[in-house]
Amino acid sequence: MRKSNHHAVRMSLHKYPDGLTVTEIAERIEKKKDAVRRALLNMPDVYIDRWTSCSKQWAAVWCVVVPPDNCPKPT
């Protein structure tokens, strides 16, 4: 059984609210880029915020959704 990388990816993105590329996430959590890419594609709470140019290629900058602390009840 393969261990999920979702938690490690999510925690890494929480530390960098401006977002990270797959390469940056992989370096920080010490996992292969393919494993990080697979995790991101299966996580409903992450999204591509923008694209950045990386050595003649474009790389997605991923962010994690940060839910509000409290949503007030309507009156």
pLDDT for the residue 54: 77
Report the topology of domain 6-64. Answer: Arc Repressor Mutant, subunit A (1.10.10)
**Host H or E run for residue 57:** strand 57-64
Round the CA-based radius of gyration of the chain to a whole number and report it.
Answer: 14
Say whether pTM exceeds 0.85.
Answer: no
Whether the CB-CB separation of 48 and 22 falls below 8 Å is answered with no
**Tens digit of each residue's pLDDT, the chain (75 residues):** 556 899 999 999 999 999 999 999 999 999 999 999 999 999 999 999 999 987 788 999 999 998 778 877 788
Q: Which of 30, 13, 11 is nearest to 21 (CA)?
A: 13
Contacts of 21 (CB under 8 A, 6+ apart): 52, 54, 59, 60, 61, 62
Tokens encoding 4: 């999920």
**Every domain of the chain and the residues it spans:** 6-64
